[in-house]
């Protein structure tokens, strides 16, 4: 029994000895070394350089490797991510190539005094410093190809947002850039564009300049708004209203402009007929003489723009096959004088204008010239008149009984003599 206890005690002591040895070897012994590769280099003082109009454009050294000696527990905490290599450029005041010293900063989880740096892959960090330049350019546009047939792009009113871009970077790079351009392909487009497009930077030869990592721009894309409308050619037309005397076939119509081109949203333009009726209907019988010109505004639906520019049109009506003649009429009568009075026509002849088919008008003119009855008379109706003067004028109605296809003036002025009838 005692012998068994001794064996257990020996085993426990041996295990404790092994654990103690492991602790000393891994945590206490300071003799361990390690190589830590590719520790990134940080350049401090860039903001101060920018305030002086300078910028670092090249770094000959971007990473450093270190061989260090430390306890194993500290070495376990060291790697390329936990160590910081800091080079200070804040003392640089002019462009040029510089070799900067650097500081190795270990993490707070280790005691820096217990770590020895045995070797460094380099003792200096090489940088190139250039002048910093700032340039602001207005965005230009470059259009490629054409919109779909029957459409028009409002290039002059295209909107680009933002309207300008600012570049900040090395002088030798920024000085090459003379234009900031937005290019857009119009091929087969048939509706308004609202898209985001990239900005290209060009030199004086029109070649694109690739920006380096050292150049910053306020924006790399722009929003383009471009209206695209549908076009249509409209034929102008006046609406004519004829009667039994003057027909539309008798009117020859001419226009100061025959057509206009309009533009607008496709759904609005498609709904429009090919002819644009101008003004109000023209009553042909209201036109005196053989020719008359009307002046009309060109009214278009809302949202439709007249590309041709004209806002008015002159419509000239000229008659063909229509004539007029002034005929002396002697068949004049008076009816319905006021009770107790007798009316007598003083005007022996009145003149009536007739209008219509040229052949028929010529026949009436000829008959009148020979003193024959032409089938037109004048009647003055005094019904309701309270006139008692001995002599006065009244309107007489022109009655056209034999020539329904001719138009005559409706009224003429006739001189009347009124005599009171004696009671005896």
- What is the pLDDT, as a whole number, of residue 390? 79
Sign of CA dihedral 27, 31, 36, 40: positive
Give the SS3 label for residue 73: helix
The burial class, CB within 10 Å (0-12 / 13-18 / 19+), for 410 is: exposed
- What is the pLDDT, as a whole number, of residue 340? 84
| Residues 253/317, Cβ–Cβ less than 8 Å | yes
Bridge partners, 91 (sequence order): none
- What is the pLDDT, as a whole number, of residue 291? 87
Report residues of the chain scoring pLDDT below 50.
Answer: 424
- What is the pLDDT, as a whole number, of residue 210? 92
Structure tokens at 216: 């910053």
- What is the pLDDT, as a whole number, of residue 322? 85
| Residues 361/355, Cβ–Cβ less than 8 Å | yes
Closest C-alpha to 225, from 198, 192, 185: 192
Structure tokens at 120: 């460094």
Instruction: Report the alpha-carbon distance of residue 410 to residue 142 in Å, rounded.
Output: 70
pLDDT in tens, 324-374: 888 999 999 999 888 888 888 998 899 998 888 888 889 988 988 888 888
| Residues 142/184, Cβ–Cβ less than 8 Å | yes
- What is the pLDDT, as a whole number, of residue 323? 85
Q: How many residues does the chain have?
A: 424
pTM for this entry: 0.60
- What is the pLDDT, as a whole number, of residue 112? 86
Residue pointed to by tokens 């019904």: 383
Structure tokens at 150: 């029957």
Bridge partners, 182 (sequence order): 141, 199
Instruction: Report the alpha-carbon distance of residue 220 to residue 225 in Å, rounded.
Output: 17
Long-range (24+ apart) CB contacts under 8 A made by 140-143 are 140/179, 140/180, 140/181, 140/182, 141/181, 141/182, 141/183, 141/184, 141/224, 142/181, 142/182, 142/183, 142/184, 143/183, 143/184, 143/186
Instruction: Report the alpha-carbon distance of residue 162 to residue 258 in Å, rounded.
Output: 44
Structure tokens at 421: 């009838």
Instruction: Report the alpha-carbon distance of residue 109 to residue 77 in Å, rounded.
Output: 8
């Amino acid at each position: 029994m005692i012998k068994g206890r001794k064996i257990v005690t020996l085993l426990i002591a041996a295990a404790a000895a092994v654990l103690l040895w492991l602790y000393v070897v891994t945590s206490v012994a300071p003799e361990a070394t390690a190589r830590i590769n590719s520790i990134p280099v940080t350049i401090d003082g860039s903001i101060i350089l920018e305030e002086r109009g300078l910028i670092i454009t090249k770094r000959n050294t971007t990473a450093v490797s270190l061989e260090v000696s430390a306890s194993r527990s500290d070495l376990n905490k060291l790697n390329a991510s936990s160590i910081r290599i800091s080079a200070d450029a804040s003392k640089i005041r002019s462009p040029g190539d510089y070799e900067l010293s650097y500081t190795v900063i270990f993490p707070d989880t280790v005691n820096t005094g217990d770590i020895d740096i045995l070797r460094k892959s380099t003792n200096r960090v090489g940088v190139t410093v250039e002048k910093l330049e700032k340039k602001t350019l207005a965005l230009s546009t470059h259009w490629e190809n054409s919109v779909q047939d029957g459409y028009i792009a409002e290039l002059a009113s295209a909107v680009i947002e933002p309207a300008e871009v600012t570049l900040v970077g090395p002088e030798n790079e920024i000085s090459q850039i003379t234009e900031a351009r937005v290019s857009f392909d119009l091929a087969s487009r048939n509706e308004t564009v609202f898209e985001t497009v990239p900005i290209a930077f060009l030199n004086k030869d029109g070649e694109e300049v690739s920006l380096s990592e050292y150049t910053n721009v306020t924006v790399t894309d722009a929003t383009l708004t471009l209206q695209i409308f549908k076009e249509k050619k409209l034929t102008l037309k006046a609406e004519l209203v004829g009667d039994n005397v003057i027909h539309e076939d008798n009117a020859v119509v001419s226009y100061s402009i025959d057509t206009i081109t309009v533009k607008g949203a496709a759904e609005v333009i498609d709904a429009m007929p090919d002819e644009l009726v101008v003004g109000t209907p023209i009553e042909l019988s209201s036109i005196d003489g053989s020719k008359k010109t009307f002046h009309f505004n060109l009214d278009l639906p809302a949202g439709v723009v007249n590309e041709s520019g004209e806002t008015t049109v002159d419509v000239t009506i000229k008659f063909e096959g229509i004539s007029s003649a002034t005929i002396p009429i002697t068949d004049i009568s008076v009816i319905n004088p006021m009770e107790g009075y007798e009316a007598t026509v003083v005007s022996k002849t009145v003149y009536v204008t007739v209008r219509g088919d040229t052949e028929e008008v010529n026949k009436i003119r000829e008959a009148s010239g020979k003193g024959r009855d032409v089938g037109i008379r004048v009647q003055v109706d005094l019904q309701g008149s309270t006139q008692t003067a001995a002599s006065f004028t009244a309107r007489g109605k022109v009655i056209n009984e034999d020539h329904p296809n001719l138009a005559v003036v409706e009224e003429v002025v006739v001189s009347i003599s009124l005599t009171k009838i004696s009671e005896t």
